[in-house]
Amino acid sequence: MTVYAIIGGTGLTQLEGLSIRQSLAVDTPYGAPSADVQIGEYAGKEVLFLARHGHPHRFPPHQVNYRANLWALKQAGAEAILAVNAVGGIHAAMGTGHFCVPHQLIDYTSGREHTYFADDLEHVTHIDFSYPYSEPLRQQLITALAAEGVGYSSHGVYACTQGPRLETVAEIARLERDGCDIVGMTGMPEAALARELELDYACLALVVNPAAGKSTAVITMAEIEQALHDGMGKVKSTLARVLKG
């Protein structure tokens, strides 16, 4: 039976309904992860949970220790990662409250520790990252979203920007020309590190605001927080369906 781990992003710093059996403070060669790895039961299944930004939410996207987070989950026994991400909508279909299960990504970040294959190597290692997300895991999320009856897109290109600021109108226009459908700040190097550790990985993205220039309104944190509040129940029920199989 697959051991699933959930990485909670903004709005999901703790998994309500998780019956915690153990909280592990995992020591990694890359420093401390954002939070302890919680091990427990959710939807009747054993699951691991890690708050990407810490609990409380304190690590901005560019300062998350992605290497420690993924390493800690692997050490705790994870085999597959369900990553929850709050994103901005670029494509017209990606309105606030819409879900997307991306099939591709483009990395626009810089300066992040993005690989385990960096120091004291006996040989250079390259991973195949043509398709950054696990297709079987993507299909599990898609099936769960369909069963939930929520609005979702089964494909999309995730643009990962540096943050922590939101993007300019011109930057979003560039991302759109590049073929991106949604924009977030935490999709990389998380996905690549999971691949290096041979962990299945897929993203459940919740659109919490129109990207810059996609609405006449000013983007406010109040708007984003409301969208997170409204969408988290659907996120949790979708994850529960995946875990139940």
- 185 labelled as ligand-binding? yes
**Is it true that the peptide bond before 164 is cis, omega within 30 degrees of 0?**
yes
- 143 labelled as ligand-binding? no
CA distances from 42 to 6, 17, 240 (A): 11, 6, 7
- 53 labelled as ligand-binding? yes
Q: Strand, helix or coil at 17?
A: coil
- 65 labelled as ligand-binding? no
Question: How far is it, in rounded angstroms, from Cα 245 to Cα 107?
Answer: 31
Q: Letter for the amino acid at 104?
A: Q
DSSP 40-98: EEETTEEEEEEETTTTTT---GGG--HHHHHHHHHHTT--EEEEEEEEEE-STT--TT-
- 211 labelled as ligand-binding? yes
- 33 labelled as ligand-binding? no
Sign of the dihedral defined by the CA atoms of residues 15, 225, 59, 184, in that order: positive
Annotated binding site for substrate: 185, 209-211
- The binding site consists of 10, 52-53, 185-186, 209-211
As annotated, the binding site for phosphate includes 10, 52-53, 186
